[in-house]
Structure formats: structure tokens, C-alpha cells
């Protein structure tokens, strides 16, 4: 038990690691604040593109979505981080990380928003259009308000995933929470910082997990 505490929850090492972890946490929160809104905005563009009249716009939205959903996020990240410099594009790590996250998360949000929009029966769109609403008004006042209700659990689930995925930025040495923890771990030869980082993620994301469970249960109990 003593070995467990000194190895995993060592107070001395925790005190030493705290400032680094805190700085890492700030970076992680910053990444979330970049990746989530950018991803939702990109996803919205994709979802709207998939309702477009021109076939090639619809198709390119589908190709984009499928392509970037097929890549594991870490693969995208390494490709962007290691590949771009060869094109002479030297970006600060935070920017290349953000680009990789945008490509990945927008495709997921896009798929959720698209299926949400498609879950509203065509008849509603036709009825709204025949009463004289424009395409945009139909989308805004009829389709989206109903679609949002259907999509909420998936949006929460995806947002949880995005928040967790920010941890892979540690692989390209962006000093976020996990990276900071591993740095301190490698200096102190003690696992406490990594365990602490895990606990911080848990505290941060636990409300989202609970919310998700509630929605999942509601979704099935209606039937």
C-alpha cells in the first residue's frame, strides 16, 4: 500500500509537478476552446454543403467526411506535423495541431449534423417551402430546431471525444496536460504526475459523461 502511494500518489512529487500540470491544463483547455468551435463550424459548413443543389458540392462534402473519418486522428496529426515542413510550411506546433483537429473533428460533427438534418422528414421541408419560406428560412425555422433535439446526445458524445483527443497533441510535443505530466514523470521516475493528469481529465470530463448517460437512457426510454 505504501509502495502504491509513493509510486502513484506521491505528495512531494505532486507538489513539484503541480505548476507544470496547471500550465498543461491551461493549454488543454485552450485546445478544446479552439478545436470544438472550429469543428462545429466546419461541420455545419459540411452539413449545409450536403443539402446543396449542385451535385458536385454534395459529393465533395461526402468525400471529405468519409476521408477524414477514416483516418485515426493521430495519423492526421503526425502527417500534418511532420509533412507540412517538407512543403516549406513551418507552423508553430499549436497551429499544426489545430489544423489536424479541424480536419478530423469537422468531419465527425459534419456527419452528425447531416444525419440530424436528414432525420427531419422531407414533407416538412416541402410544406415549409410551399408556404413561401425560402430555403434558408426553412432550414433555420423548421429543420434545424427539430434536428438539434435529435442530435444532442451525439453532439455531447462527440464533444467528449474531441476533449479527450486533445491529449494526442502530446505526441508532437505540444505542452498540454499529458505532455507536461510525462515530462515530469521522466524527470522524477515516478508515475504520480501521469496519474494526476488522469484524475484531472476525469474531473474535467465527468459531467459530460454523466450527461451523456442521461441522454442515452432517455433516447431508449421513449420507445
Judged by the rule CB under 8 A, the positions of this chain that interact with another protein are: 3-4, 7-8, 66-67, 69-75, 78-79, 82-83, 86-87, 108, 111-112, 114-116, 118-119, 147, 150-151, 153-154, 157-158, 160-161, 164-168, 170-171, 178, 182, 185, 190-191, 194-195, 197-198, 201-202, 204-206, 208-210, 212-213, 216-217, 219-221, 223
User: Is the Cβ of residue 120 or residue 128 nearer to another protein in the bound state?
Assistant: 120
Helix axes of 11-49 and 177-188: crossing angle, nearest 10 degrees: 150
Three-state secondary-structure class, residue 67: helix
User: Is the Cβ of residue 128 or residue 147 nearer to another protein in the bound state?
Assistant: 147
User: Is the Cβ of residue 76 or residue 128 nearer to another protein in the bound state?
Assistant: 76
Minimum CB separation of residue 46 from another protein in Å reads: 13
* Rounded Cα–Cα distance for residues 100 and 81 (Å): 8
> Which residues neighbour 25 within 8 Å (Cβ) at sequence distance 6 or greater?
177, 200
Q: Express the helix, strand and coil content of the chain in percent, nearest 5 each.
A: 85, 0, 15
Minimum CB separation of residue 100 from another protein in Å reads: 12
User: Is the Cβ of residue 129 or residue 164 nearer to another protein in the bound state?
Assistant: 164
* Rounded Cα–Cα distance for residues 20 and 216 (Å): 37
Amino acid at each position: 500500500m505504501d509502495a502504491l502511494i509513493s509510486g502513484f500518489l506521491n505528495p512531494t512529487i505532486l507538489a513539484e509537478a503541480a505548476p507544470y500540470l496547471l500550465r498543461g491544463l491551461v493549454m488543454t483547455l485552450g485546445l478544446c476552446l479552439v478545436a470544438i468551435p472550429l469543428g462545429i463550424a466546419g461541420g455545419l459548413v459540411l452539413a449545409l454543403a450536403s443539402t446543396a443543389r449542385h451535385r458536385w458540392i454534395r459529393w465533395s462534402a461526402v468525400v471529405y467526411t468519409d476521408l477524414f473519418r477514416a483516418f485515426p486522428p493521430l495519423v492526421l496529426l503526425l502527417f500534418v506535423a511532420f509533412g507540412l515542413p517538407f512543403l516549406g510550411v513551418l507552423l508553430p506546433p499549436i497551429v499544426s495541431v489545430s489544423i489536424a483537429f479541424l480536419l478530423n473533428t469537422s468531419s465527425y460533427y459534419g456527419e452528425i449534423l447531416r444525419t440530424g438534418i436528414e432525420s427531419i422528414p422531407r414533407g416538412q421541408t416541402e410544406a415549409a417551402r410551399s408556404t413561401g419560406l425560402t430555403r434558408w428560412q426553412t432550414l433555420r425555422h423548421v429543420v434545424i430546431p427539430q434536428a438539434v433535439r435529435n442530435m444532442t446526445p451525439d453532439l455531447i458524445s462527440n464533444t467528449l471525444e474531441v476533449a479527450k483527443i486533445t491529449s494526442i497533441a502530446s505526441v508532437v510535443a505540444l505542452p498540454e496536460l499529458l505532455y507536461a505530466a510525462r515530462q515530469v514523470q521522466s524527470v522524477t521516475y515516478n508515475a504520480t504526475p501521469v496519474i494526476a493528469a488522469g484524475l484531472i481529465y476525469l474531473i474535467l470530463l465527468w459531467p459530460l459523461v454523466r450527461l451523456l448517460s442521461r441522454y442515452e437512457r432517455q433516447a431508449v426510454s421513449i420507445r
